[in-house]
């Protein structure tokens, strides 16, 4: 393979980007899975580093890690029922333990107590439940003897880069079609040259021409990955917010009930993602035996039920929606063409005002059931009238209203307030 230089490589990748990413842009919602030896300690996937556990002591966990067979089926079934369309699983996290049958190190799930290729089980489960497949791979490695030394010792660096590329090559060669390569933490090298990311990613693309690659190998590649907050990337660029399930840990760590996301929290994130044309990658950290943490099951299933009725506001083609700032305090928007989907979280009762749209409103209706809603429009003020007293959505209390405008709606916050608020 002849290697392209950066500019040429990025151009060629950009040329096929929209086509490669179409499914993902339409999918909108995926499941992240953080699973590894750290699950056994129940204190965050960073536990080895945080608590200064020596490698020799930590690696003994590999002799205790014996998950039940095909745990991945449970995750994939739940993901499907939750309305998620793809999954991304940690094939190797910072701890360095590989969950697949690798030739690069014996520190893997096949050659230790587990005795099975967990990546294979995961891939099979995704396929069984019709989900696209993503591989998370941590570049940083706390177990490999050269993982830190490579920063100052050229021979160690060569060995470590060969190891890294060897791992990526195996993952891209041995499991059929893979849809996403999701790198993480590119330390200790500070540049793409340090990691030889151009060569590594061209190798990956050579083996998986349809793959999407995230932005964490010190190259921008295909999409951005805001973490811990659902915040849009610059316009036009794909972005995927990754979120833990309990605001505490990616790896298994039972959290206080108050810290867990509810179905309504998830819908709020999904609304922001849809309104900003981005994706939500919501994490579960399975228990050491592979079971889905109990905290995730009910909210995810309920969101799935809700999406089965309201998914049109989420999946498929969505366009950038106006923010709800200066429009309504009752909910937020996503949009397809001239239609605004109004996700009403706080049901206001019989009437509701929406400010700032001067574009002519043609109709307002409930998305579920299609019943029309009476309305008045006066300048920048819309009033929805004669509505039910309580939220019609009995699944999560988030009712979807469709507002069909005569043209792509323009919004201006505080459009009719006196100059006092101009530019606020």
Q: Which residues are near ligand GLC by CB under 6 A?
A: 34, 45-46, 184-185, 227, 242, 250
What element of type H or E holds 171?
A: helix 154-173
When the beta carbons of 51 and 162 are compared against ligand GLC, the nearer one is: 51
Q: In terms of CB distance, is 90 or 310 closer to ligand GLC? A: 90
- Pick the closest to residue 162 from 152, 174, 150 (CA basis): 150
Q: In what order do the strands lie in the sheet with 86-92?
A: 212-213, 180-184, 132-138, 86-92, 29-33, 279-284, 238-243, 223-224
Smallest distance, ligand GLC to C-beta of residue 215, A:
11
Q: Which is nearer to ligand GLC, 229 or 416 (CB)?
A: 229
Which secondary-structure segment (H or E) carries 157? Answer: helix 154-173
Nearer to ligand GLC, 34 or 157 (CB): 34
**Which backbone phi and psi does 147 adopt, to 5 degrees?**
-60, -30
Residues 6+ apart with CB under 8 A from 32: 87, 88, 89, 136, 242, 250, 281, 282, 283, 284
Least distance to ligand GLC, CB of residue 384, Å: 40
**Residue 243 or 287 with smaller CB distance to ligand GLC:** 243
Comparing CB distances to ligand GLC, the nearer of 45 and 146 is 45
The two structure tokens encoding residue 39: 């699950």
136 or 341: CB nearest ligand GLC: 136
Residue 231 Cβ vs ligand GLC, minimum distance, rounded to whole Å? 14
* Nearest-approach distance from CB 283 to ligand GLC, in angstroms: 7
Q: How far apart are alpha carbons 51 and 43 in whole angstroms? A: 10
Per the document, the length of the chain is: 424
Q: What is the smallest separation between the CB atom of 184 and ligand GLC, expressed in angstroms?
A: 5
CB of 252 to ligand GLC, least distance (A): 13
Q: Which residue carries 């991945």 as its tokens? A: 72
Please answer whether residues 239 and 279 qualify as being in contact, where contact means their C-beta atoms are separated by less than 8 angstroms: yes
Helix (H) or strand (E) holding 374: strand 374-378
Rounded-to-integer distance, Cα 133 and Cα 122, Å: 9
Of 142 and 175, nearer to ligand GLC (C-beta) is 142
Which of 121/184 has CB closer to ligand GLC? 184
Rounded (to 5) percent helix, strand, coil in the chain: 35, 20, 45
Nearer to ligand GLC, 34 or 85 (CB): 34
In the bound complex, what is the minimum distance in angstroms from residue 214's beta carbon to ligand GLC?
A: 9
Closest distance of CB 276 from ligand GLC, Å? 18
Q: How far is the CB of 250 from ligand GLC (least distance, A)?
A: 5
- Tell me the two tokens of residue 146: 């050269």
Strands 331-336 and 339-344, sheet pairing? antiparallel
Q: What are phi and psi of 384, to 5 degrees?
A: -90, 135
**Concatenated DSSP letters for 225-247?**
--BSS----STTSEEEEEE-SSS
Here the tokens at position 63 are: 């002799």
- What's the min distance (Å) between Cβ of 419 and ligand GLC? 44
SS3 for 16-44 is HHHHHHHHHHHHCEEEEECCCHHHHCCCC
List the one residue out of 250, 241, 247, 192 whose CA is nearest residue 216: 192
326, 266 contact by CB (below 8 A): no
């Amino acid at each position: 393979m002849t290697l392209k230089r950066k500019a040429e490589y990025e151009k060629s990748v950009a040329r096929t980007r929209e086509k490669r990413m179409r499914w993902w842009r339409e999918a909108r919602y995926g499941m992240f899975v953080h699973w590894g030896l750290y699950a056994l300690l129940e204190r965050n996937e960073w536990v080895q580093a945080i608590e200064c556990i020596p490698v020799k002591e930590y690696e003994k966990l590999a002799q205790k890690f014996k998950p039940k067979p095909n745990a991945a089926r449970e995750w994939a079934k739940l993901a499907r029922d939750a309305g998620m369309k793809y999954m991304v699983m940690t094939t190797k996290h910072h701890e360095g333990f590989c969950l697949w049958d690798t030739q690069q190190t014996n520190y893997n799930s096949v050659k230790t107590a587990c005795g099975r290729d967990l990546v294979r089980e995961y891939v099979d489960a995704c396929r069984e439940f019709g989900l696209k497949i993503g591989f998370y791979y941590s570049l940083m490695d706390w177990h490999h003897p050269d993982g830190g030394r490579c920063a100052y010792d050229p021979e160690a660096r060569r060995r470590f880069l060969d190891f890294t590329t060897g791992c990526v090559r195996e993952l891209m060669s041995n499991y059929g079609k893979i849809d996403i390569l999701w790198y993480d933490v590119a330390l200790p090298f500070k540049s793409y040259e340090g990691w030889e990311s151009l060569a590594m990613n061209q190798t990956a693309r050579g083996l998986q021409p349809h793959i999407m690659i995230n932005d964490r190998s010190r190259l921008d590649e295909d999409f951005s990955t805001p973490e811990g907050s659902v915040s849009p990337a610059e316009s036009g660029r794909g972005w995927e917010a990754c979120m833990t399930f309990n605001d505490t840990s990616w790896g298994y760590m039972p959290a206080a009930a108050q810290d867990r996301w509810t179905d309504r929290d998830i819908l709020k994130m999904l609304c922001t993602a849809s309104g900003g044309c981005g994706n939500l990658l919501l994490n579960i950290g399975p228990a050491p035996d592979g079971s889905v943490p109990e905290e995730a099951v009910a909210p995810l299933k309920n969101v799935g039920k809700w999406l089965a009725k309201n998914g049109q506001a989420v999946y498929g083609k969505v366009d950038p929606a106006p923010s709800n700032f200066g429009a309504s305090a009752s909910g937020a928007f996503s949009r397809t063409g001239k239609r605004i989907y109004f996700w009403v979280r706080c049901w206001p009762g019989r009437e509701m005002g929406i400010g700032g749209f001067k574009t002519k409103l043609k109709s307002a209706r409930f998305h579920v059931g299609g019943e029309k809603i009476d309305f008045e429009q006066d300048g920048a003020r819309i009033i929805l009238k004669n509505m039910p007293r309580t939220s019609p959505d009995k699944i999560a209390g988030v009712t979807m209203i469709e507002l069909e405008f005569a043209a792509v709606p323009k919004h201006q916050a505080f459009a009719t307030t006196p100059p006092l608020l101009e530019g606020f």
